[in-house]
Amino acid sequence: MTTTVAAPVTPERIMQFAWGYVPPLVLEAAIKHRVFDVLDAGPKTLAEVAKATKASERGLAAIMNALVGLEFLAKDSQGLYSLTPESSAFLVSTKPAFQGGLIRHCSEHLIPKWLGLNEIVATGEPAAAVNDEKVGADFFQKFVVDIFPMSYPAAQALARHLRLKPAARVLDLAAGSGVWGIALAQGSDGVRVTAVDWPEVIPVTRKTAAKFKLDGRFAFVEGDLLKADFGAGHDVATLGHILHSEGPERSRALLAKTFRALAPGGTIAIAEFLVNAERTGPVSGLFFAVNMLVNTASGGTYSFEEIAGWLKEAGFVQARTLEAPGPSPLILATKP
Ligand SMILES: C[S@@+](CC[C@H](N)C(=O)[O-])C[C@H]1O[C@@H](n2cnc3c(N)ncnc32)[C@H](O)[C@@H]1O
């Protein structure tokens, strides 16, 4: 007979989480003070980084050593700091895969709202709802540019998968930077994109499309998603990171409206932070649901099964996932 002895429980994780706000804030300070950008030119001493960034040696020593502890920087026996493969790829602001966009908003936009979480849980009401145009439009003007690199590889994977014919028409809903339409237009010459977003955000979409020399292939529609004219006969519709802020009721109405705007045989592609059907993981999707509690009136995160049910209800068939770089696979479905 074997006896199993339960591992002793320790408070270690709780102690670790007590400092959970440190990594994003230290990363933000390092990005704001260009630590990763400066080290991209090669290893440097603390004094050299201080001279190049004009930040204090005391401040830089504290955050750079913390970044060594977090393995975002390396330090040799001579005290020279250098980038790691991860920080070199994703934390240098000039690199195409720069992921600091979200981090850049921590202290100004994200954490201040999260500080009200105790009260928000008590009432179920957000401090300020970004799904409301008056609050959200100003925030999204800046935010959508910063999150472009998060979705660009997934949008390129979608373009490779769809292999659109040259005359194809794409409807990019809640376009933001236009990242989904841009990747699909780059994927096939002649593809035309209709981008829909709030009037305050459309100038950002226009500017980003122009940066990629694609503005001539874009049409822009300003307005609320449930009121704007989507047109008809589109071959593809993309909904990039919008359902989570809309909540179930508006999401279902949006999917039904999108169905009507597609041509028969058309494809809908949805990017979301998914959770499993039991809502026990992955933890990133569960965290994002709390973020939606804090920042929206009725938003949350959903499972593939839930979204597939809404798609079926709207008339779509063959709801399926497409593996793509990013937190979750994309969800695709077809208008019969
Ligand atoms: C999280 S961003 C996603 C942008 C882009 N699709 C992407 O994946 O990077 C959400 C976008 O939806 C837009 N948006 C949110 N609610 C909207 C509404 N009710 N009507 C129109 N646009 C809306 C915001 O302005 C923002 O551009």
Ligand 1 centroid distance, CA of 130 (Å) = 10
CA dihedral sign of residues 181, 195, 294, 135? positive
Q: Could you give phi then psi for residue 102, rounded to 5 degrees?
A: -65, -45
Ligand 1 centroid distance, CA of 36 (Å) = 30
Residue 266 has what pLDDT? 98
Per-residue pLDDT, averaged over 27-43, amounts to 98
Q: Tell me the C-alpha distance between 272 and 303, whole Å.
A: 9
Residue 1 has what pLDDT? 60
Probe target for ligand 1 pocket from 109, 198, 200, 273, with the most ligand atoms within 8 Å of CB: 198
**Looking at ligand 1, which atom is closest to the CA of residue 224?**
20
Q: Tell me the C-alpha distance between 270 and 241, whole Å.
A: 7
User: What CA–CA distances, in Å, run from 257 to 119, 225, 261?
Assistant: 35, 9, 7
Per-residue pLDDT, averaged over 196-224, amounts to 97
pTM given for the model: 0.94
pLDDT digits (tens, 9 = 90+) for 66-121: 999 999 999 999 999 999 999 999 999 999 889 998 898 899 889 999 999 999 99
Q: What's the pLDDT band for 231 if we cut at 50, 70, 90?
A: very high
Residue whose entry in the numeric block shows the structure tokens 């990629």: 212
Q: Tell me the C-alpha distance between 267 and 272, whole Å.
A: 16
- Closest C-alpha among 167, 168, 219 to residue 197: 219
Residue whose entry in the numeric block shows the structure tokens 């009260």: 119
Q: Tell me the C-alpha distance between 231 and 261, whole Å.
A: 6
Per-residue pLDDT, averaged over 278-305, amounts to 97
Burial class (CB in 10 A: 0-12, 13-18, 19+), 242: buried
For ligand 1, whether the C-beta of 300 sits within 6 Å is: no
> pLDDT over 70 for what percent of the chain?
99
Query: Which strand (E) or helix (H) includes residue 254?
Result: helix 243-261
Ligand 1 centroid distance, CA of 273 (Å) = 15
For ligand 1, whether the C-beta of 140 sits within 6 Å is: yes
Ligand 1 centroid distance, CA of 330 (Å) = 17
Probe target for ligand 1 pocket from 143, 144, 171, 196, with the most ligand atoms within 8 Å of CB: 144
User: What CA–CA distances, in Å, run from 91 to 28, 69, 99?
Assistant: 10, 16, 6
pLDDT of residue 156 exceeding 80: yes
**Looking at ligand 1, which atom is closest to the CA of residue 271?**
8
Ligand 1 centroid distance, CA of 315 (Å) = 24
Residue whose entry in the numeric block shows the structure tokens 């999204």: 140
Per-residue pLDDT, averaged over 169-196, amounts to 97
Q: What's the pLDDT band for 237 if we cut at 50, 70, 90?
A: very high
Spell out the residues 6+ positions from residue 61 whose beta carbon is closer than 8 angstroms to its own.
Answer: 46
pLDDT of residue 132 exceeding 90: no
Q: What's the pLDDT band for 2 if we cut at 50, 70, 90?
A: low
Question: Do 43 and 82 contact (CB within 8 A), yes or no?
Answer: yes
Ligand 1 centroid distance, CA of 318 (Å) = 26
For ligand 1, whether the C-beta of 162 sits within 6 Å is: no
pLDDT digits (tens, 9 = 90+) for 240-284: 999 999 999 999 999 999 999 999 999 999 999 999 999 999 999
Q: Tell me the C-alpha distance between 183 and 203, whole Å.
A: 18
pLDDT of residue 226 exceeding 80: yes
- Closest C-alpha among 174, 185, 246, 172 to residue 213: 185
Q: What's the pLDDT band for 216 if we cut at 50, 70, 90?
A: very high
Question: Do 296 and 288 contact (CB within 8 A), yes or no?
Answer: no
Instruction: Point out the least confidently predicted range of 6-15, 22-31, 57-66, 122-131.
Output: 122-131
For ligand 1, whether the C-beta of 178 sits within 6 Å is: no
Query: Which strand (E) or helix (H) includes residue 312?
Result: helix 304-314
Per-residue pLDDT, averaged over 143-154, amounts to 93
Measured distance between the N- and C-terminal CA atoms of the chain, rounded to whole angstroms:
61
Query: What's the whole-number average pLDDT of the chain?
Result: 95
Q: Tell me the C-alpha distance between 327 and 130, whole Å.
A: 21
pLDDT of residue 4 exceeding 80: no
Q: Two tokens at 74?
A: 């390396």
Question: If you compute the radius of gyration of the chain from its CA atoms, what whole number of angstroms results?
Answer: 22
For ligand 1, whether the C-beta of 157 sits within 6 Å is: no
The residue count for the chain? 336
Residue 86 has what pLDDT? 97
pLDDT of residue 141 exceeding 80: yes
Per-residue pLDDT, averaged over 184-210, amounts to 97
Question: Do 294 and 116 contact (CB within 8 A), yes or no?
Answer: yes
Per-residue pLDDT, averaged over 53-76, amounts to 98
